[in-house]
Amino acid sequence: MNFKFLLLIVTAAAAVFVFLSFKSGCGLDSRAAVKELIDNGALVVDVRTPEEYAAGHYENSVNIPLGELESKIDLFGSKDNNIVVYCRTGNRSEKAKIILERYGFKNVTNGGGLKDMQF
Protein backbone atom coordinates (compact mmCIF):
# COMPACT_ATOMS: atom_id res chain seq x y z
CA MET A 1 0.00 0.00 0.00
CA ASN A 2 1.24 3.46 -0.83
CA PHE A 3 2.58 5.28 2.27
CA LYS A 4 0.99 8.60 1.25
CA PHE A 5 -2.40 6.94 0.82
CA LEU A 6 -2.12 5.31 4.24
CA LEU A 7 -1.10 8.63 5.78
CA LEU A 8 -4.09 10.30 4.11
CA ILE A 9 -6.47 7.67 5.55
CA VAL A 10 -5.04 8.02 9.07
CA THR A 11 -5.20 11.83 8.88
CA ALA A 12 -8.80 11.75 7.64
CA ALA A 13 -9.81 9.35 10.42
CA ALA A 14 -8.16 11.59 13.03
CA ALA A 15 -9.94 14.65 11.61
CA VAL A 16 -13.31 12.90 11.79
CA PHE A 17 -12.60 11.83 15.38
CA VAL A 18 -11.67 15.37 16.43
CA PHE A 19 -14.73 16.83 14.66
CA LEU A 20 -17.09 14.39 16.36
CA SER A 21 -15.46 15.03 19.74
CA PHE A 22 -16.01 18.78 19.43
CA LYS A 23 -19.48 18.33 17.97
CA SER A 24 -20.52 16.35 21.05
CA GLY A 25 -19.81 19.45 23.14
CA CYS A 26 -17.94 17.96 26.08
CA GLY A 27 -20.89 15.82 27.04
CA LEU A 28 -23.33 18.70 27.04
CA ASP A 29 -26.96 17.79 27.33
CA SER A 30 -29.56 19.22 24.94
CA ARG A 31 -30.73 22.78 25.54
CA ALA A 32 -34.37 21.68 25.71
CA ALA A 33 -33.59 19.07 28.37
CA VAL A 34 -31.61 21.58 30.44
CA LYS A 35 -34.38 24.18 30.23
CA GLU A 36 -36.98 21.62 31.27
CA LEU A 37 -34.91 20.59 34.29
CA ILE A 38 -34.50 24.21 35.36
CA ASP A 39 -38.18 24.96 34.81
CA ASN A 40 -38.97 22.00 37.07
CA GLY A 41 -36.82 23.26 39.94
CA ALA A 42 -33.34 21.84 39.35
CA LEU A 43 -30.55 23.34 41.44
CA VAL A 44 -28.45 25.47 39.05
CA VAL A 45 -24.79 25.68 40.06
CA ASP A 46 -22.22 28.00 38.51
CA VAL A 47 -18.78 26.41 39.03
CA ARG A 48 -16.81 29.45 37.82
CA THR A 49 -14.76 31.71 40.09
CA PRO A 50 -16.53 34.30 42.28
CA GLU A 51 -15.12 37.02 40.01
CA GLU A 52 -16.61 35.40 36.91
CA TYR A 53 -19.91 34.91 38.72
CA ALA A 54 -19.98 38.58 39.79
CA ALA A 55 -19.48 39.65 36.18
CA GLY A 56 -22.70 37.88 35.17
CA HIS A 57 -24.50 34.65 35.91
CA TYR A 58 -27.64 32.65 35.23
CA GLU A 59 -30.62 33.91 37.22
CA ASN A 60 -31.21 32.02 40.48
CA SER A 61 -27.94 30.07 40.21
CA VAL A 62 -25.62 29.51 43.15
CA ASN A 63 -21.86 29.91 42.87
CA ILE A 64 -19.77 27.00 44.06
CA PRO A 65 -16.38 27.20 42.32
CA LEU A 66 -15.04 23.92 40.96
CA GLY A 67 -12.10 24.00 43.39
CA GLU A 68 -14.50 24.19 46.37
CA LEU A 69 -17.01 21.64 45.13
CA GLU A 70 -15.90 18.68 47.22
CA SER A 71 -15.63 20.71 50.43
CA LYS A 72 -19.20 21.98 49.92
CA ILE A 73 -20.76 18.70 48.79
CA ASP A 74 -23.33 18.85 51.62
CA LEU A 75 -24.90 21.95 50.03
CA PHE A 76 -26.30 19.81 47.20
CA GLY A 77 -28.85 18.03 49.37
CA SER A 78 -30.37 14.72 48.35
CA LYS A 79 -28.44 12.59 45.89
CA ASP A 80 -31.69 12.29 43.91
CA ASN A 81 -32.05 16.07 43.33
CA ASN A 82 -31.79 17.37 39.78
CA ILE A 83 -28.65 19.48 39.44
CA VAL A 84 -27.53 21.55 36.44
CA VAL A 85 -23.91 22.69 36.50
CA TYR A 86 -22.43 25.29 34.15
CA CYS A 87 -19.28 27.37 33.74
CA ARG A 88 -17.85 29.51 30.93
CA THR A 89 -17.38 26.88 28.23
CA GLY A 90 -18.66 23.57 29.59
CA ASN A 91 -15.27 22.12 30.53
CA ARG A 92 -15.29 22.87 34.26
CA SER A 93 -18.95 21.94 34.48
CA GLU A 94 -18.15 18.53 32.94
CA LYS A 95 -15.50 18.04 35.65
CA ALA A 96 -18.06 19.12 38.27
CA LYS A 97 -20.58 16.63 36.88
CA ILE A 98 -18.02 13.83 37.17
CA ILE A 99 -17.16 14.81 40.75
CA LEU A 100 -20.81 14.96 41.81
CA GLU A 101 -21.53 11.60 40.18
CA ARG A 102 -18.53 10.13 41.99
CA TYR A 103 -20.17 11.30 45.24
CA GLY A 104 -23.34 9.44 44.29
CA PHE A 105 -25.49 12.20 42.80
CA LYS A 106 -27.69 10.56 40.19
CA ASN A 107 -29.24 13.44 38.26
CA VAL A 108 -26.44 15.80 37.29
CA THR A 109 -26.60 17.62 33.96
CA ASN A 110 -23.84 19.62 32.28
CA GLY A 111 -25.51 22.83 31.17
CA GLY A 112 -22.40 23.93 29.30
CA GLY A 113 -21.26 27.53 29.26
CA LEU A 114 -23.12 30.62 30.42
CA LYS A 115 -23.89 31.47 26.78
CA ASP A 116 -25.52 28.03 26.44
CA MET A 117 -27.80 28.85 29.38
CA GLN A 118 -29.59 31.63 27.49
CA PHE A 119 -32.97 30.10 26.64
- Answer yes or no: 26 catalytic: no
> Which of 37, 42, 44, 87 is flagged as catalytic?
87
Spatial strand order of the sheet with 107-113 comes to: 62-63, 43-46, 82-87, 107-113
How, if at all, do strands 82-87 and 62-63 pair?
Answer: unpaired
Number of Cβ atoms within 10 Å of the Cβ of 18 = 10
Cα–Cα distance measured from residue 78 to residue 106, given in angstroms and rounded to the nearest whole number: 10
Alpha helices in 3-117 (DSSP H): 3-23, 31-39, 50-54, 91-102
Hey, which residues are catalytic here?
A: 87
